[in-house]
Amino acid sequence: MAELSNYILVGALLFGLGVIGFLTRRNLIVVFLCTELMFQGVVVNLVAFARYWGNLQGQAFALFLLVIAAVEAGLALALVVVLYRRRGTLDSEAWNSMRG
Amino acid sequence: MNWSTTTIAIYGLTALGAVAVYLLLPRAGRSARVAGTLLGLAALAGLVVLSLRSFAIPGSEDFYFYLLAVLALTSAAGVITQRKAVYSALYFVLTVVAVAGLVVLLEAEFLAAALIIIYGGAILVTYLFVIMLAQQEGQPLYDRRVRGGWWACVAGFLLTATVASALSDFLLLAPVVAPPMTVEVANTDRLGLVVMTRYMVVLQAAGILLLLALVGAVAIVRKRYPHLETVERPLPAIGQAGREAAPF
Protein backbone atom coordinates (compact mmCIF):
# COMPACT_ATOMS: atom_id res chain seq x y z
CA MET A 1 0.00 0.00 0.00
CA ALA A 2 1.54 3.23 -1.13
CA GLU A 3 1.88 6.02 1.37
CA LEU A 4 -0.43 9.02 1.55
CA SER A 5 2.10 11.52 0.17
CA ASN A 6 2.32 9.54 -3.08
CA TYR A 7 -1.39 10.02 -3.72
CA ILE A 8 -1.20 13.69 -2.75
CA LEU A 9 1.68 14.16 -5.16
CA VAL A 10 -0.33 12.59 -7.99
CA GLY A 11 -3.32 14.78 -7.14
CA ALA A 12 -1.18 17.93 -7.05
CA LEU A 13 0.46 17.09 -10.39
CA LEU A 14 -2.91 16.41 -12.05
CA PHE A 15 -4.21 19.73 -10.70
CA GLY A 16 -1.09 21.56 -11.91
CA LEU A 17 -1.41 20.10 -15.42
CA GLY A 18 -5.05 21.19 -15.46
CA VAL A 19 -4.07 24.72 -14.42
CA ILE A 20 -1.47 24.96 -17.20
CA GLY A 21 -3.99 23.76 -19.77
CA PHE A 22 -6.69 26.11 -18.46
CA LEU A 23 -4.37 29.12 -18.74
CA THR A 24 -2.88 28.34 -22.14
CA ARG A 25 -5.41 26.64 -24.37
CA ARG A 26 -7.65 28.82 -26.54
CA ASN A 27 -10.25 26.26 -27.58
CA LEU A 28 -13.20 26.77 -25.22
CA ILE A 29 -14.03 23.05 -25.10
CA VAL A 30 -10.46 22.11 -24.19
CA VAL A 31 -10.47 24.80 -21.49
CA PHE A 32 -13.45 23.12 -19.86
CA LEU A 33 -11.81 19.71 -20.25
CA CYS A 34 -8.91 21.12 -18.24
CA THR A 35 -11.28 22.05 -15.40
CA GLU A 36 -12.40 18.42 -15.40
CA LEU A 37 -8.73 17.46 -15.17
CA MET A 38 -8.42 19.58 -12.03
CA PHE A 39 -11.51 17.82 -10.65
CA GLN A 40 -9.70 14.49 -11.12
CA GLY A 41 -6.79 15.69 -9.00
CA VAL A 42 -9.21 16.78 -6.29
CA VAL A 43 -10.99 13.40 -6.39
CA VAL A 44 -7.68 11.56 -5.87
CA ASN A 45 -6.88 13.76 -2.87
CA LEU A 46 -10.32 13.39 -1.28
CA VAL A 47 -10.41 9.61 -1.59
CA ALA A 48 -6.82 9.26 -0.37
CA PHE A 49 -7.56 11.31 2.75
CA ALA A 50 -10.77 9.34 3.35
CA ARG A 51 -8.79 6.10 3.17
CA TYR A 52 -6.08 7.30 5.52
CA TRP A 53 -8.47 8.73 8.08
CA GLY A 54 -10.43 5.52 7.90
CA ASN A 55 -13.84 7.14 7.38
CA LEU A 56 -16.20 7.76 4.50
CA GLN A 57 -16.63 11.53 4.52
CA GLY A 58 -14.09 12.11 1.80
CA GLN A 59 -15.77 9.54 -0.42
CA ALA A 60 -19.18 11.13 0.15
CA PHE A 61 -17.67 14.52 -0.68
CA ALA A 62 -16.17 13.09 -3.89
CA LEU A 63 -19.57 11.70 -4.82
CA PHE A 64 -21.15 15.15 -4.52
CA LEU A 65 -18.19 16.55 -6.43
CA LEU A 66 -19.22 14.28 -9.32
CA VAL A 67 -22.68 15.90 -9.22
CA ILE A 68 -21.12 19.36 -9.37
CA ALA A 69 -18.89 18.25 -12.27
CA ALA A 70 -21.92 17.01 -14.20
CA VAL A 71 -23.79 20.27 -13.58
CA GLU A 72 -20.75 22.30 -14.60
CA ALA A 73 -20.23 20.29 -17.78
CA GLY A 74 -23.87 20.65 -18.81
CA LEU A 75 -24.08 24.40 -18.26
CA ALA A 76 -20.61 25.12 -19.65
CA LEU A 77 -21.26 23.17 -22.83
CA ALA A 78 -24.61 24.92 -23.27
CA LEU A 79 -22.78 28.25 -23.01
CA VAL A 80 -20.13 27.04 -25.48
CA VAL A 81 -22.85 26.14 -27.97
CA VAL A 82 -24.41 29.61 -27.62
CA LEU A 83 -21.02 31.35 -28.00
CA TYR A 84 -20.22 29.24 -31.06
CA ARG A 85 -23.54 30.23 -32.63
CA ARG A 86 -22.83 33.91 -32.07
CA ARG A 87 -19.27 34.10 -33.43
CA GLY A 88 -18.84 30.91 -35.42
CA THR A 89 -15.59 30.04 -33.65
CA LEU A 90 -14.48 28.32 -30.47
CA ASP A 91 -11.54 30.69 -29.98
CA SER A 92 -11.65 32.36 -26.58
CA GLU A 93 -9.74 35.31 -28.08
CA ALA A 94 -12.90 36.12 -30.06
CA TRP A 95 -14.40 37.30 -26.78
CA ASN A 96 -11.48 39.32 -25.47
CA SER A 97 -13.54 42.50 -25.60
CA MET A 98 -15.09 41.21 -22.36
CA ARG A 99 -11.91 41.72 -20.35
CA GLY A 100 -12.06 44.59 -17.94
CA MET B 1 11.87 26.07 5.93
CA ASN B 2 14.85 23.78 5.62
CA TRP B 3 15.86 22.80 2.13
CA SER B 4 16.14 19.07 2.45
CA THR B 5 17.29 16.93 -0.43
CA THR B 6 13.73 15.78 -1.04
CA THR B 7 12.46 19.36 -1.34
CA ILE B 8 15.18 20.28 -3.80
CA ALA B 9 14.51 17.10 -5.79
CA ILE B 10 10.78 17.84 -5.92
CA TYR B 11 11.42 21.41 -7.13
CA GLY B 12 13.90 20.22 -9.75
CA LEU B 13 11.74 17.43 -11.10
CA THR B 14 8.63 19.62 -11.21
CA ALA B 15 10.60 22.29 -13.08
CA LEU B 16 11.76 19.63 -15.53
CA GLY B 17 8.15 18.55 -16.02
CA ALA B 18 7.06 22.17 -16.56
CA VAL B 19 9.74 22.65 -19.24
CA ALA B 20 8.59 19.42 -20.89
CA VAL B 21 4.96 20.59 -20.93
CA TYR B 22 6.08 23.95 -22.35
CA LEU B 23 7.93 22.19 -25.17
CA LEU B 24 4.94 19.95 -25.86
CA LEU B 25 2.32 22.74 -26.00
CA PRO B 26 1.25 23.66 -29.53
CA ARG B 27 3.18 26.73 -30.60
CA ALA B 28 4.24 28.57 -33.74
CA GLY B 29 7.43 27.63 -35.48
CA ARG B 30 9.36 24.45 -35.07
CA SER B 31 7.80 22.03 -32.62
CA ALA B 32 9.97 20.23 -30.09
CA ARG B 33 7.71 17.34 -29.34
CA VAL B 34 10.43 14.68 -29.23
CA ALA B 35 12.53 16.69 -26.78
CA GLY B 36 9.42 17.47 -24.73
CA THR B 37 8.38 13.84 -24.59
CA LEU B 38 11.86 12.73 -23.53
CA LEU B 39 12.08 15.44 -20.85
CA GLY B 40 8.62 14.57 -19.57
CA LEU B 41 9.45 10.87 -19.33
CA ALA B 42 12.68 11.75 -17.54
CA ALA B 43 10.77 13.89 -15.04
CA LEU B 44 8.25 11.09 -14.44
CA ALA B 45 11.00 8.51 -13.96
CA GLY B 46 12.73 10.85 -11.53
CA LEU B 47 9.51 11.30 -9.56
CA VAL B 48 9.02 7.53 -9.37
CA VAL B 49 12.60 7.05 -8.14
CA LEU B 50 12.19 9.86 -5.61
CA SER B 51 8.93 8.38 -4.38
CA LEU B 52 10.50 4.93 -4.07
CA ARG B 53 13.46 6.30 -2.15
CA SER B 54 11.69 8.76 0.14
CA PHE B 55 8.10 7.70 0.63
CA ALA B 56 7.78 4.04 -0.24
CA ILE B 57 6.78 1.28 2.09
CA PRO B 58 7.37 -2.26 0.89
CA GLY B 59 4.05 -3.65 -0.26
CA SER B 60 2.37 -5.66 -2.93
CA GLU B 61 0.16 -2.98 -4.47
CA ASP B 62 2.90 -0.47 -5.14
CA PHE B 63 3.54 -1.69 -8.66
CA TYR B 64 -0.06 -0.99 -9.68
CA PHE B 65 0.07 2.38 -8.00
CA TYR B 66 3.09 3.50 -10.02
CA LEU B 67 1.65 2.07 -13.23
CA LEU B 68 -1.67 3.90 -12.77
CA ALA B 69 -0.04 7.13 -11.59
CA VAL B 70 2.27 7.28 -14.61
CA LEU B 71 -0.66 6.47 -16.90
CA ALA B 72 -2.79 9.23 -15.33
CA LEU B 73 -0.05 11.85 -15.60
CA THR B 74 0.98 11.02 -19.17
CA SER B 75 -2.60 11.03 -20.40
CA ALA B 76 -3.25 14.29 -18.54
CA ALA B 77 -0.28 15.79 -20.38
CA GLY B 78 -1.87 14.45 -23.57
CA VAL B 79 -5.13 16.27 -22.78
CA ILE B 80 -3.44 19.67 -22.61
CA THR B 81 -0.96 19.22 -25.45
CA GLN B 82 -3.00 17.61 -28.24
CA ARG B 83 -3.76 19.72 -31.30
CA LYS B 84 -7.21 18.23 -31.86
CA ALA B 85 -10.02 18.59 -29.33
CA VAL B 86 -11.28 15.06 -30.04
CA TYR B 87 -7.90 13.61 -29.08
CA SER B 88 -7.88 15.72 -25.92
CA ALA B 89 -11.26 14.26 -24.96
CA LEU B 90 -10.10 10.71 -25.65
CA TYR B 91 -6.94 11.21 -23.59
CA PHE B 92 -9.18 12.48 -20.82
CA VAL B 93 -11.07 9.17 -20.88
CA LEU B 94 -7.71 7.46 -20.29
CA THR B 95 -7.04 9.80 -17.35
CA VAL B 96 -10.43 8.94 -15.86
CA VAL B 97 -9.75 5.22 -16.18
CA ALA B 98 -6.35 5.57 -14.50
CA VAL B 99 -7.80 7.70 -11.68
CA ALA B 100 -10.56 5.13 -11.20
CA GLY B 101 -7.83 2.50 -10.84
CA LEU B 102 -6.13 4.60 -8.17
CA VAL B 103 -9.48 4.95 -6.41
CA VAL B 104 -9.86 1.15 -6.46
CA LEU B 105 -6.43 0.86 -4.85
CA LEU B 106 -7.77 3.17 -2.13
CA GLU B 107 -10.63 0.72 -1.57
CA ALA B 108 -13.42 2.98 -2.77
CA GLU B 109 -14.99 0.65 -5.32
CA PHE B 110 -18.32 2.40 -5.65
CA LEU B 111 -16.65 5.72 -6.40
CA ALA B 112 -14.46 4.09 -9.05
CA ALA B 113 -17.52 2.70 -10.81
CA ALA B 114 -19.24 6.07 -10.51
CA LEU B 115 -16.20 7.82 -12.00
CA ILE B 116 -16.16 5.50 -15.01
CA ILE B 117 -19.92 5.69 -15.56
CA ILE B 118 -20.43 9.41 -14.98
CA TYR B 119 -17.15 10.81 -16.32
CA GLY B 120 -16.17 8.26 -18.94
CA GLY B 121 -19.76 7.67 -19.97
CA ALA B 122 -22.02 10.66 -19.53
CA ILE B 123 -19.83 13.75 -19.32
CA LEU B 124 -17.36 12.71 -22.02
CA VAL B 125 -20.15 11.80 -24.44
CA THR B 126 -21.59 15.29 -23.91
CA TYR B 127 -18.17 16.79 -24.64
CA LEU B 128 -17.78 14.69 -27.79
CA PHE B 129 -21.24 15.76 -28.96
CA VAL B 130 -20.35 19.43 -28.60
CA ILE B 131 -16.96 18.89 -30.28
CA MET B 132 -18.70 17.27 -33.25
CA LEU B 133 -21.36 20.00 -33.26
CA ALA B 134 -18.84 22.83 -33.33
CA GLN B 135 -16.45 21.20 -35.77
CA GLN B 136 -14.41 23.52 -37.95
CA GLU B 137 -12.65 22.94 -41.23
CA GLY B 138 -9.15 21.53 -40.93
CA GLN B 139 -7.07 22.49 -37.93
CA PRO B 140 -8.06 25.98 -36.78
CA LEU B 141 -5.40 28.43 -35.65
CA TYR B 142 -6.59 28.56 -32.06
CA ASP B 143 -5.76 24.86 -31.66
CA ARG B 144 -2.26 25.30 -33.07
CA ARG B 145 -1.17 28.31 -30.97
CA VAL B 146 -1.37 28.64 -27.21
CA ARG B 147 -1.62 31.91 -25.35
CA GLY B 148 1.07 32.80 -22.83
CA GLY B 149 2.49 29.29 -22.56
CA TRP B 150 5.64 30.34 -20.72
CA TRP B 151 3.93 32.19 -17.88
CA ALA B 152 1.30 29.51 -17.45
CA CYS B 153 3.99 26.84 -17.13
CA VAL B 154 5.81 28.94 -14.51
CA ALA B 155 2.53 29.39 -12.60
CA GLY B 156 1.69 25.70 -12.75
CA PHE B 157 5.23 24.77 -11.69
CA LEU B 158 5.18 27.14 -8.70
CA LEU B 159 1.74 25.92 -7.57
CA THR B 160 2.56 22.22 -7.86
CA ALA B 161 6.09 22.39 -6.47
CA THR B 162 5.06 24.48 -3.47
CA VAL B 163 2.16 22.22 -2.56
CA ALA B 164 4.15 19.03 -3.09
CA SER B 165 7.26 20.15 -1.20
CA ALA B 166 5.25 21.59 1.70
CA LEU B 167 3.31 18.36 2.02
CA SER B 168 6.42 16.21 1.75
CA ASP B 169 8.15 18.28 4.44
CA PHE B 170 5.18 17.71 6.67
CA LEU B 171 4.68 14.06 5.86
CA LEU B 172 8.34 13.04 5.99
CA LEU B 173 8.36 13.90 9.69
CA ALA B 174 5.54 11.50 10.40
CA PRO B 175 4.79 9.08 7.56
CA VAL B 176 1.07 8.51 7.24
CA VAL B 177 0.25 4.87 6.71
CA ALA B 178 -3.23 3.67 5.97
CA PRO B 179 -4.94 1.81 8.78
CA PRO B 180 -5.82 -1.75 7.84
CA MET B 181 -9.40 -2.19 6.72
CA THR B 182 -11.22 -4.50 9.11
CA VAL B 183 -14.83 -4.01 8.07
CA GLU B 184 -16.82 -6.84 6.55
CA VAL B 185 -19.51 -4.60 5.05
CA ALA B 186 -19.05 -3.69 1.40
CA ASN B 187 -17.94 -0.19 0.49
CA THR B 188 -21.16 0.51 -1.41
CA ASP B 189 -23.30 -0.39 1.61
CA ARG B 190 -21.33 1.82 3.97
CA LEU B 191 -21.21 4.76 1.56
CA GLY B 192 -24.92 4.44 0.84
CA LEU B 193 -25.69 4.46 4.54
CA VAL B 194 -23.63 7.59 5.11
CA VAL B 195 -25.10 9.42 2.10
CA MET B 196 -28.69 8.49 2.91
CA THR B 197 -28.48 9.42 6.60
CA ARG B 198 -25.83 11.95 7.45
CA TYR B 199 -25.80 13.73 4.09
CA MET B 200 -29.51 13.43 3.31
CA VAL B 201 -30.03 17.19 2.96
CA VAL B 202 -26.97 17.47 0.70
CA LEU B 203 -28.32 14.65 -1.43
CA GLN B 204 -31.64 16.45 -1.88
CA ALA B 205 -29.81 19.69 -2.67
CA ALA B 206 -27.73 17.85 -5.27
CA GLY B 207 -30.91 16.56 -6.91
CA ILE B 208 -32.41 20.06 -7.00
CA LEU B 209 -29.15 21.40 -8.43
CA LEU B 210 -29.20 18.82 -11.21
CA LEU B 211 -32.80 19.75 -12.07
CA LEU B 212 -31.92 23.45 -12.11
CA ALA B 213 -28.93 22.79 -14.36
CA LEU B 214 -31.10 20.77 -16.72
CA VAL B 215 -33.67 23.55 -17.03
CA GLY B 216 -30.93 26.18 -17.22
CA ALA B 217 -29.04 24.41 -19.99
CA VAL B 218 -32.21 24.11 -22.07
CA ALA B 219 -33.03 27.77 -21.42
CA ILE B 220 -29.52 28.85 -22.44
CA VAL B 221 -29.41 27.02 -25.77
CA ARG B 222 -32.93 27.98 -26.89
CA LYS B 223 -32.66 29.52 -30.31
CA ARG B 224 -35.50 32.03 -30.10
CA TYR B 225 -35.02 35.20 -28.10
CA PRO B 226 -38.55 36.65 -27.80
CA HIS B 227 -37.37 39.98 -26.43
CA LEU B 228 -35.06 40.45 -29.44
CA GLU B 229 -37.66 39.75 -32.08
CA THR B 230 -38.50 42.72 -34.27
CA VAL B 231 -41.52 41.26 -36.03
CA GLU B 232 -44.71 41.99 -34.18
CA ARG B 233 -46.69 38.87 -33.52
CA PRO B 234 -50.45 39.17 -33.31
CA LEU B 235 -51.78 38.67 -29.83
CA PRO B 236 -53.48 35.31 -29.43
CA ALA B 237 -57.18 35.25 -28.96
CA ILE B 238 -58.41 34.98 -25.42
CA GLY B 239 -58.09 31.44 -24.20
CA GLN B 240 -55.88 30.42 -27.10
CA ALA B 241 -52.48 31.48 -25.73
CA GLY B 242 -50.05 28.61 -25.67
CA ARG B 243 -52.35 26.26 -27.56
CA GLU B 244 -50.10 26.16 -30.62
CA ALA B 245 -46.73 26.63 -28.98
CA ALA B 246 -43.99 25.30 -31.22
CA PRO B 247 -41.30 23.17 -29.63
CA PHE B 248 -37.91 24.71 -29.03
Say what the ipTM of the complex is. Answer: 0.93
Best probe of the B interface among A30, A64, A72, A85, by most B CBs < 10 A, is A30
Q: Are residues B64 and B175 in the same domain?
A: yes
Q: Are residues B103 and B197 in the same domain?
A: no
pTM of the model: 0.86
Least confident residue range of A48-52, A74-78, B61-65, B212-216: B61-65
**Does B73 contact A17 at a Cβ distance shorter than 8 Å?**
yes
Domain boundary among B182, B201, B231: B182
Q: Are residues B31 and B109 in the same domain?
A: yes
Q: Are residues B70 and B81 in the same domain?
A: yes
Q: Are residues B142 and B206 in the same domain?
A: no
Structural fold of domain A4-90? Helix Hairpins (1.10.287)
pLDDT band at A7 (very low <50, low <70, confident <90, very high): confident
Q: Give the per-residue SS3 of B83-133.
A: CCHHHHHHHHHHHHHHHHHHHHHCCCHHHHHHHHHHHHHHHHHHHHHHHHH
Domain that holds residue B128: 5-182
Among B194, B64, B177, which residue's Cα sits nearest to residue A48? B177
Q: Are residues B174 and B106 in the same domain?
A: yes
pLDDT band at B172 (very low <50, low <70, confident <90, very high): low
Q: Are residues B211 and B121 in the same domain?
A: no
pLDDT band at B27 (very low <50, low <70, confident <90, very high): confident
User: Which residues of chain A neighbour B153 with C-beta distances below 8 Å?
Assistant: 20, 24
What mean pLDDT is predicted for residues B171-199?
77
Least confident residue range of A91-100, B48-57, B142-151: B48-57
Q: Are residues B169 and B208 in the same domain?
A: no
Is there a domain that residue B248 lies in?
A: no
CA B207 to chain CA mean position, Å: 23
Is there a domain that residue B56 lies in?
A: yes
Interface of A with B in 25-84 (CB under 8 A): 25-27, 29-30, 32-34, 36-37, 40, 43-44, 47-48, 50-52, 54, 56-57, 59-60, 62-64, 66-71, 73-75, 77-82, 84
**Does A24 contact B77 at a Cβ distance shorter than 8 Å?**
no
pLDDT at B1: 47
Tens-place pLDDT, residues A11-63? 999 999 999 999 998 888 999 999 999 999 999 999 998 888 888 889 999 99
Is there a domain that residue B232 lies in?
A: no
Q: Are residues B135 and B192 in the same domain?
A: no
Number of domains in chain B: 2
Is there a domain that residue B211 lies in?
A: yes
CATH number for position B34: 1.20.120.1200
